[in-house]
Amino acid sequence: MRKVALIFLFTILLAGISQAKTVQMGLDSPYFGNSKHIDVADFVGKKPLVLIFFYPECTPCEKSVPVLNNLYKTYKDKIYIIGISLSRDRYEIGDFIKENHPLYPIYRISDKGDLRNVGGILATPTVVVIDKNGKVAKKLIGKHGCSYLKKTIDKIIKEG
């Protein structure tokens, strides 16, 4: 009986955790910084926006740069692709840029940045695709997310 009760409590705990972290598709896109950085509202009505959240010291994040560079070259006239460093350390970000050569712009999260509307960033890299109306259309987590990104981008562009 005790084992059943523990399994039940564990299941409820996991359900609560997963529910709290689930991305709600169609939510308004989040505010990431102030006017010195990036505000997703500036992109609404123009083109879809792909945000790549990363840490400079993250090996899968580094390995995703060539894939993202290819997507940037292919789609730069149809979408925006922007990297968002979750590190606020300018030197770490600078080293990441020097070592990995991303073609897309890189910003850092501000102290006032708000990631709640995308369900929190639990792993890096995390890719958030925002349609041109400013709604979160897709969230892809981890190193494999970048490989699914082309299909997602094609779908968003087709939907207009």
Q: Which two tokens stand for residue 72?
A: 């940037």
Residue 45 contacts residue 132 (beta carbons within 8 Å):
yes
Residue 1 lies in a domain: no
Residue 65 contacts residue 29 (beta carbons within 8 Å):
no
Q: How many CB atoms lie within 10 A of CB 152?
A: 18
Helix (H, G, I), strand (E, B) or coil at 107: strand
Average pLDDT, integer, range 69-83: 94
Distance, C-alpha 87 to centroid of its chain:
14
Number of structural domains the chain divides into: 1
- Domain coverage including residue 138: 24-159
| pTM of the predicted structure, to 2 decimals | 0.73
Strands 126-130, 136-141: pairing is antiparallel
pLDDT one-digit tens code per residue, 2-33: 433 333 333 333 333 333 333 333 333 444 44
Residue 88 lies in a domain: yes
Residue 2 lies in a domain: no
